[in-house]
Amino acid sequence: MQPIAIQIGSFAIRWYGIMAAIGFLLGTVLMQINRKYAKLSSDQATSLMLLGLFGGILGARIFYVIQFAEQFRGRWFDVIRVDQGGLVFYGGFFLALGAIILYCRRQKLEIVRVLDITTPSLAIGHAVGRVGCFLNGCCFGSPTACWTGIAYPADSIPGMRYGDVPLHPVQLYEAAVNILIGLLMMILIRKTKTGIPMACYIALYGVIRFADEFFRGDHQQFWNGLTPAQTIGIGMIPAGIILIVIFARKPADDDRA
């Protein structure tokens, strides 16, 4: 855990913000590499990434503030301090999705193809962001005796909750899996029918997040013993599988780049 990258007097640049910026840049590069598969111009690809960025941050922060409102009582200015961490992926995912769909309609772009080529950028950007979470000490894991366990500083939030007990580095687990998903999406975009990459991403991330939550130590149960993320993940898994079947049964693309 090393939240501060550069400290000059009272001014600090945090690793969380740096990793978020790196994730965005990598996502933009991947979007430019894959844009031909959705017949996008370079400007359109960049615009989509910017929409995804701002919509994602806004949605992710709104969900976090709602879920952990008690942290902000008496400190409401901290609501806008996203550089210190505190984002819920699902919130960002759904708001960014809505923004991208609206843009595609206005630009008369094929929505499904655009969502297909967005999946590698989303996965890799998310992976880098999770490394930022690890450095920041947020989204931490539950106690473990496994060799991968990490003990946090005593003055950190996980340290105050669990002391010097090693915790699962769930942020790094999820980062590694997201890298694999991103690589798989790069292959599927080139080898499968339109819609399959998007559908596979939905199903895979639902599975990964459902499993990952069992190792988290920062969430409370929400419904029937499940966390909010697991509850959403349960819905994503069958939705993704149904979409895979639907798109797999459609005729192959004749004009795929």
pLDDT digits (tens, 9 = 90+) for 187-231: 999 999 999 999 999 999 999 989 988 888 887 655 567 887 888
What is the tens place of the pLDDT at every residue in 230-254?
Answer: 888 888 999 999 999 999 998 876 5
Among 125, 110, 94, 115, which residue's Cα sits nearest to residue 22?
125
Higher per-residue confidence, 222 vs 130: 130
192 occurs within a structural domain: no
242 occurs within a structural domain: no
239 occurs within a structural domain: no
pLDDT value for 252: 72
90 occurs within a structural domain: yes
What is the tens place of the pLDDT at every residue in 159-199?
Answer: 888 988 999 999 999 999 999 999 999 999 999 999 999 99
Judge whether 15 and 132 are in contact, CB under 8 Å. yes
The residues, ordered by sequence, that sit 6+ positions from 228 with a Cβ below 8 Å of its Cβ are 67, 90, 219, 222
215 occurs within a structural domain: no
d(CA 55, CA 89): 11
Q: Is the pLDDT confidence value at 257 over 60?
A: no
Domain containing 162 equals 4-187
In whole numbers, what is the pLDDT of the chain averaged over residues?
Answer: 85
Mean pLDDT of 21-44: 93
Among 154, 182, 152, 150, which residue's Cα sits nearest to residue 168?
150
232 occurs within a structural domain: no
What is the tens place of the pLDDT at every residue in 58-79?
Answer: 877 777 776 666 666 666 666 6
Q: At what angle do helices 170-191 and 111-136 cross, to 10 degrees?
A: 160
pLDDT value for 253: 65
229 occurs within a structural domain: no
Q: Is the pLDDT confidence value at 113 over 90?
A: yes
Number of domains in the chain: 1
In this prediction, residue 43 has a pLDDT band, given cuts at 50, 70 and 90, of very high
81 occurs within a structural domain: yes
The burial class, CB within 10 Å (0-12 / 13-18 / 19+), for 60 is buried
pLDDT value for 57: 79
